[in-house]
Amino acid sequence: MTIEINVPDIGDFDGVEIIEVLVKAGDTVAAEQSIITVESDKASMEIPCPQAGVVKEMKVKIGDKVAQGTLMLILEPAEGGAAAPKVEAPKVEAPKVEAPKVEAPKSAVAPVAAASVEPHNPTVASVNAPHASPSVRKFARELGVNLATVSGTGPKGRITPDDIRNFVKAAVAGVGSSSAGAAKGGSGGGLDLLPWPKVDFTKFGEIEEQELSRIKKLSGPNLHRNWVMIPHVTQFDEADITDLEQFRKDTNAALAKQGVKLTMLAFVMKACVAVLKKYPAFNASLSEAGDKLIVKKYWNIGFAADTPNGLVVPVIKGVDQKGFSQIANELGELSAQARDGKLKGADMQGATFTVSSLGGVGGTLFTPIINAPEVAILGLSKSAMKPVWNGKEFEPRLMLPLSLSYDHRVIDGAMAARFTTELAGVLADMRKVLL
């Protein structure tokens, strides 16, 4: 005999999405064991099976929308299994068969209940399904984390965002430099990642295989680690650089015979140091254990350099002790060495803060990835003339888009907003670097 198991009364929810299917055909389930998890825009809930038995056929899958009365599965009830009131009615129709089973001693029923749970490990795990909010479940899915493998530290064992981050941090630390293997579909030291899709692209058209450059092969695992391990948030802002750009052009014209060419990046680096001194948490690193903040008393600014073989990050040392001309010269020299592949290891070490400029290419805003062990990175996009209200009228001003990505474990949103506001103020009036 088989019975249909439908979605029970789940309140004022209609058409909620299934985000987890905890059993499959052939599984043995216990009474009140969770079989699916549904999620609305406000909450998630686990739907239990009203009685013990064997799943003969699943009628739903992940992504389906269900409501009260939706057929979930076909169940073959277990002998002597506890039944919900709704499904006990058929048993009353056969009193001669059911009566002995109802009156059977507990010792006779116990082996059936035990057998329904123990043989299938995934079923056992789903009895104690992880407790987490919809936002945490979504966060875990984005990172490829199986919630069943995460220990919750919240109230009643609820899994928090920090639990997910700590799990990923421990997993990646266990993988070390082999994170590239995890990206190809490995377990990632505990990360429950889906295998990388295997597709025969030649079935759809002509293809050409190109070997990744050495730089991209080296930087890929680092970028993957930084994105997974650091909780990124990006603060966007604009800086009025109308007067600064005019000063830069006038100065370059005056210094043309000396071969000096000031760039906007040189001014931005100097401005960043002034703001980093006011907000030292941005010029810091988390300790390896994550329990201390290491604040640096030196200011070395890295800058992302675009090369034919990929992105590299040379470092200008002691920016606080150098003038604009010296910074501009070093930027030019290091950029040329980067393009020629002649940078030394020491040229790319010791940065306390990084600036990534796409102003020469284009775009409006972007989210730069933090270069660990730093805690922040500033992105610059292409400046543009915009009408700005001066209190009386709109006037054309040259505005520079700013994108500040920061490690949310160290820096909060208010501090990041103060940082970009202060930086915009310094760029609008570079005399502030003297204060």
pLDDT digits (tens, 9 = 90+) for 354-374: 999 998 898 999 999 999 999
* pLDDT at residue 245, as a whole number: 96
Classify domain 3-127 by CATH number.
2.40.50.100
Encoding tokens for residue 397? 């001003």
* pLDDT at residue 41, as a whole number: 59
Best CA proximity match to 265, nearest among 174, 331, 169, 362: 331
Mean pLDDT for all residues in the chain: 82
Domain chopping of the chain, boundaries: 3-127, 134-209, 231-434
* pLDDT at residue 124, as a whole number: 36
Which of 210-214, 252-256, 258-262, 277-281 holds the top average pLDDT? 277-281
Which of 64-68, 136-140, 270-274, 307-311 holds the top average pLDDT? 270-274
Judging by beta carbons within 10 Å of its beta carbon (0-12, 13-18, 19+), is residue 398 exposed, middle or buried? middle
pLDDT over 60 (residue 101): no
Alpha-carbon Rg for the chain, nearest whole angstrom, is 30
- Residues designated as active site: 408
Superfamily of domain 231-434, CATH level 4: Chloramphenicol acetyltransferase-like domain (3.30.559.10)
pLDDT over 90 (residue 424): yes
Judging by beta carbons within 10 Å of its beta carbon (0-12, 13-18, 19+), is residue 168 exposed, middle or buried? buried
CA dist 177 and 222 (Å) reads: 8
Best CA proximity match to 30, nearest among 151, 132, 156, 117: 117
Is 134-209 a CATH 4.10.320.10 domain? Answer: yes
Q: What is the pLDDT of residues 110-132, one digit of tens each?
A: 333 333 333 333 333 344 557 77
CA dist 342 and 79 (Å) reads: 76
- Output 189 or 220, whichever has higher pLDDT: 220
* pLDDT at residue 192, as a whole number: 60
* pLDDT at residue 91, as a whole number: 38
Query: One-letter amino acid identity for 166?
Result: N
